[in-house]
Amino acid sequence: MGMVHVLDLTGTIIKSFRPHSASVLDMCIDDTGDFVATASVDGRVVVYSLSTPEVFSFDFRRPMHTISLEPGFGKRGSRAYVSGGKAGVLVLHEKGWLGHTQTTIGTDEGPVWLTRWRGQLIAWANDLGVKIYDTASQTRIGSIDRPQNSPRADMYKCSFYWQDDTTLLIAWADQIKIVRFRSRIRPGASAATLSADVSAVFQLDCMVSGIVPHVSPIAAAEAGASTPSSFLVLAYIPPDDAVLEEATDDPVAQRRKAANPPQLRLISRAGTEMSSDVLSVANYFKYSCNDYSLIEADSSSGRCYVFLSPANIVIARPRDQRDHVDWLVERKRYDEALEEIAKIDKTGHEVTKIGEQYVEHLIAEGEYEKAAQLCPKFYARNANKWENLVYLFAEKRKLPVRRQYFHLYWH
């Protein structure tokens, strides 16, 4: 209880330490990968350096739900971070000459469930909705209300993700909102200020445990696009409508139902579901929506996604063009697979390999005429393979078909 394990993306433990005496509810790692910040049920927030003795620890005497470090934390002398929890207060901590100073930027709106800092903006979620604070002007600049008729905030947590400095993706219960921040000069004002606008709202048929933007590697390779073209959503499907109800005295309704396994869904910017994969999770039937998390990470092979449950850590990587080719081959869509592999196979070896699989598949399906037409293209002048084909066609009593296409290649 209260342990923190730092792992690389192969699952190897790099370091372990115990900053708390009770469960850790939130964690944040700075851009350099050196500082780890944690918030715990024991009422404490801790910022711990993995390479130096530097440690900050504060006791708020109430369960702390969330913590977020300022951008570039490890390179800045201010060592600023924000934290909040059960007490309903969001506090900004900054290091000064006499130690850390504390500034309250949100209070009296219920427990603070989540906070994340991007650029000059800090977002946090409480029972009423998501609030935005501008550190440059030191003012609150926006409030995005919790969806109407939404189930209890403590049962279905708010998830949000900063896509960039001016775009925030918010997922709460079964709804997604895209919020954009723009600079405007208001009437009578002497300078421009930031304001928040909800640019899109999507209603889903599931609850959302996590959301991150997704850039298709295939689209990026073909069109050079780097703008996220879709969302990756961690979907939780409640076992029945009873779990959506508010507090009840009915013992049948109170009884916990077996949960469904979580799903990883790819949703387009138009709100259309593009794909869905059920995740293999141990003891999934015991878990609720709040037990799962989804984050984005960097690896040596590019961006990847990390799914966390109480018993599992799963690494998901975007499918690239070769994965797409494998997918087509698995489904025996060889014509499409050959077209795609020809775009990336410079040596021709993989084209030949898939072509040979295609010919073997056609023979097995009894499509001898089409198989014979393709043989010269993929088998070239390989004597051993030609000999095997001769025996194969002879065995099927289709040698005359073979002669029609192969006589120029057989000597």
**pLDDT of the residue at 294:** 93
Rounded Cα distance, 327 and 333, in Å: 9
Residue 133, token pair as written in the block: 């604070």
Note the pLDDT of residue 382.
Answer: 64
CB 25 within 8 A of CB 66: yes
Return the bridge partners of 200, or none: 178
For residues 88 and 108, is the Cβ–Cβ distance under 8 A? yes
Element (H, E) at 371: helix 368-379
Give the residue from 147, 151, 143, 141 showing the smallest Cα distance to 171.
147
What are the distances in angstroms from CA 317 to CA 257, 281, 305?
32, 17, 6
Structure confidence at residue 250 (pLDDT): 59
Class of domain 4-319: mainly beta
| Side chain identity at residue 222, one-letter code | E
How high is the pLDDT of residue 391? 64
Other C-beta atoms closer than 10 Å to the C-beta of 230 total 20
3-state secondary structure of 247: coil
Cβ contacts of residue 148 below 8 Å, gap of 6+? none
- Give pLDDT, residue 411: 46
Q: In what order do the strands lie in the sheet with 81-85?
A: 64-69, 81-85, 90-96, 99-106
Work out whether the CA dihedral 9, 12, 18, 21 comes out positive or negative: positive
SS3 189: coil
Contacts of 13-22 with CB under 8 Å at 24 or more apart are 14/50, 15/50, 17/48, 19/44, 19/46, 19/48, 19/57, 20/44, 20/46
Could you tell me the residue ranges of all domains in the chain?
A: 4-319, 324-406
Question: What is the predicted pLDDT for the residue at 248?
Answer: 56
Instruction: Collect the ranges in the chain with pLDDT lower than 50.
Output: 219-224, 241-243, 245, 402, 408-411
pLDDT tens-digit profile of 356-387?
888 888 877 878 778 777 777 776 666 666 66
